[in-house]
Amino acid sequence: MHYGWKILMASIGFYALVTGVLCNTAGIFLTPVMDEMGWTRTEASMYLTIFPLVAAVIQPIAGKVLQKYNPKLILATCVVVFCVAFIATSQAHSVLAWNAFGVIYGITAGFFMYIPTPWLVNNWFSKKAGLALGITGAALSIFAAIASPVGNALIVSYGWRTTRIILGIVTLVIALPLTLLVKKSPSEIGLKPYGYEETGKNQKNAIAPEDTGVSFGKVIKSPAFYLLILLAGLFCLNASFFQQIPSYAATGSLGAAAGAMAVSIVMVGGIVGKFVLGIVNDAFGSKVMGFFSTICGAAGIALAFFAGGSGNAVLFYIGMGIFGGGYSGLTLVCPMVTKDSFGPKDYSQIYSYVTAGIFIFSALAPLLYAQIYDVTKSFNLGFIIVIAGYIVAAILIPTILAMGRRMQKQNASQHAA
């Protein structure tokens, strides 16, 4: 087995398992914590606003640190610190303690959540990088889908404090050994990326595959870099609307039960979508994959909007399933467009700024949609924003790729000269 597949296993450990089991189950703890502590929902969930803002600040630092130092030690440390902090909150009795956890959450997630998986996968896979990312993203969704009902059952039986201890320990015991499989690049252990084909040109080129591409210093001077951050922000903004679907259904003719079912359907659509997008990327490239994702997102949410207004539950569910393809684009489209635009060289630094935009948008999106509803007393404008967001994203993707590849050609010409 090529070591690249062990890197995939490591990514499932420090990213999919930790995020899916511990991060994505935050919602099941809010009500029991509020009931015991007597806190408002704002007090109980403030740490979920603190964490992405802290992570956004950390991203540029994380990109440099991961590239310069040993990522295995860094990621293993982050997994341990985050899991221990998660367990420690089982003994918390004050809002300050939870908010302190939000800071630790943001610092550690800034390292393990968005940057390392696409960076390592793109270093280790010359072929099937899209499939590898799709598997990791799908694993996250599966872990989250399993952990939520299991966590709920544990809370009912043992209470939320014991449940946090159980989930934290189990995750740490499984994730840490997998994380220790991390190797920065194939050249570190004398290998080539999976699927890398030697040609006469490659043999004459002394540069390792992971060192080709455009430097960070040149990338940040390009408009493509800022358009890429905007693209990531749009995907995040669009995906965040998923959180409004249960409320939309509950306040309309569909009813709360339809909203709950839609959440499950989007999750399933997201799992399937990640596999499909990965396969499409490997077969046709990131441009086609990105276009396919944006079409699914726009068409799916438009169909759900139309069906919701008419009370047609079947069409609403179909729309939500299709929307899963756009929802999963955040996991695959942005990292693959980044890599194809600028190459693997300085990828972690470049993508760290992209993910900073993702964290900022993830913190602001719920507030935006809530404000829209408070002002208009309707979700209609939110649906329109999401549809428009996917259309703009479909235009941005080929534009960014064309500009980035032009930079790569110029850089290669200068290197050859």
The string of DSSP letters for 8-22 reads HHHHIIIIIIHIIII
* Cβ atoms of 136 and 9 closer than 8 Å: no
* Same domain flag for 137 and 225: no
* Same domain flag for 157 and 280: no
pLDDT tens for residues 217-234?
899 999 999 999 999 999
96 contact partners, CB below 8 Å, separation of at least 6: none
Of the chain, the percentage scoring pLDDT greater than 70 comes to 95
* Same domain flag for 75 and 136: yes
Residue at 34 is within a domain: yes
pLDDT for the residue numbered 343: 85
3-state secondary structure of 125: strand
pLDDT for the residue numbered 227: 95
* Same domain flag for 163 and 35: yes
Q: Residue 245 — pLDDT band, cuts 50, 70, 90?
A: confident
Give me the domain span that covers residue 132: 3-184
Q: Residue 415 — pLDDT band, cuts 50, 70, 90?
A: low
Q: Does residue 114 register a pLDDT over 60?
A: yes
* Same domain flag for 15 and 157: yes
Residue at 393 is within a domain: yes
First to last CA, the chain: 39
For tokens 């693959």, the residue is 336
* Same domain flag for 225 and 135: no
Question: Of the candidates 183, 186, 40, 160, which has an alpha carbon nearest to the alpha carbon of residue 89?
Answer: 160
* Same domain flag for 7 and 115: yes
pLDDT for the residue numbered 204: 43
* Same domain flag for 400 and 295: yes
Give the C-alpha separation, 189 to 191, whole Å: 6
pLDDT tens for residues 178-194?
999 999 888 888 888 88
* Same domain flag for 22 and 148: yes
Angle at 414 between CA 413 and CA 417, to 5 degrees: 85
* Same domain flag for 153 and 274: no
3-state secondary structure of 236: helix
pLDDT tens for residues 310-332?
878 899 999 999 998 888 888 88
pLDDT for the residue numbered 159: 93
Q: Does residue 84 register a pLDDT over 50?
A: yes
Domain CATH number, residue 162:
1.20.1250.20
Residue at 201 is within a domain: no
Q: Does residue 33 register a pLDDT over 50?
A: yes
Q: Does residue 202 register a pLDDT over 80?
A: no
Residue at 206 is within a domain: no
Residue at 288 is within a domain: yes
Give the number of domains in the chain.
2
Give the C-alpha separation, 243 to 48, whole Å: 14
| Helix, strand and coil in the chain, % to nearest 5 | 85, 0, 15
Q: What is the mean pLDDT of the chain?
A: 87
* Same domain flag for 174 and 308: no
Checking 310-318 for CB contacts under 8 A at 24+ apart, the result is: 311/252, 311/253, 311/254, 313/254, 313/258, 316/249, 316/254, 316/258, 316/262, 317/258, 317/261, 317/262, 317/265
Residue at 96 is within a domain: yes
Tell me the HSE value of 91 on the side-chain side, using a 13 A CA sphere: 4
Residue at 98 is within a domain: yes
Q: Residue 198 — pLDDT band, cuts 50, 70, 90?
A: low
pLDDT tens for residues 125-170?
888 888 998 999 889 988 988 888 899 899 999 999 999 999 999 9
Rounded mean pLDDT, 254-268: 81
- Structure-token pair, residue 209: 């595959």
* Cβ atoms of 365 and 53 closer than 8 Å: no
Give the C-alpha separation, 214 to 410, whole Å: 9
Residue at 192 is within a domain: no
Is pTM beyond 0.85? Reply is no
Q: Does residue 200 register a pLDDT over 70?
A: no
Helical ranges in 285-379 per DSSP H: 286-310, 313-327, 329-342, 347-376
pLDDT for the residue numbered 377: 85
pLDDT for the residue numbered 210: 58
Question: Of the candidates 362, 359, 379, which has an alpha carbon nearest to the alpha carbon of residue 370?
Answer: 379
pLDDT for the residue numbered 348: 83
Question: Of the candidates 129, 148, 168, which has an alpha carbon nearest to the alpha carbon of residue 264?
Answer: 148
* Same domain flag for 335 and 261: yes
Q: Does residue 203 register a pLDDT over 50?
A: no
pLDDT tens for residues 34-83?
889 888 877 888 888 888 889 989 988 998 898 889 999 999 999 999 99
Q: Does residue 208 register a pLDDT over 60?
A: no
